[in-house]
Amino acid sequence: MTKPVELPQGTLEVLILKAVSLGPLHGYGILLRIQQISGERLEILQGSFYTAIYRLERQGWIRGEWGESENNRRARFYSLTAAGTRQLKAETAKWIDMAAVVAGILNKKADEI
């Protein structure tokens, strides 16, 4: 098993958007989906998880609706809204851009400068 990774501030939101973009999920499902995609390397079992969901819903990027879960229980399913899709796209571009720039700087060797 690989080493767990600490999430930088503000990244949880974009991960949730990504998880939900693949199909409607309830809260615990989002949690599992992120862990699964990350290869079990992210530990996000904190109170901050629901805080992030609430904030995203308030902003209108995800929409929650009650429905039936896989084991026939009532659960609240979240799906991406149109605004959420745009937000995810912008955030993804920003992340990739930033990561590339930072990685580019860090990978430079002394003779390349």
The residues that touch other proteins, with contacts defined as CB under 8 A, are 26-28, 31, 45-47, 49-52, 54-55, 58, 60, 64, 69, 73-76
Q: Which residue has the tokens 């995810």?
A: 88
Beta bridge partner(s), residue 16: none
Least separation in angstroms between residue 68's CB and other proteins is 11
Nearer to other proteins, 24 or 64 (CB): 64
Closest CA relative to residue 22, chosen from 49, 62, 52: 62
Least separation in angstroms between residue 60's CB and other proteins is 8
Q: In terms of C-beta density within 10 A (0-12 exposed, 13-18 middle, 19 or more buried), how is residue 63 classed?
A: middle
CB–CB of 69/75 below 8 Å?
A: yes
Nearer to other proteins, 77 or 87 (CB): 77
Nearer to other proteins, 51 or 85 (CB): 51
Nearer to other proteins, 70 or 112 (CB): 70
Least separation in angstroms between residue 104's CB and other proteins is 36
Q: Count how many residues are written for the chain.
A: 113
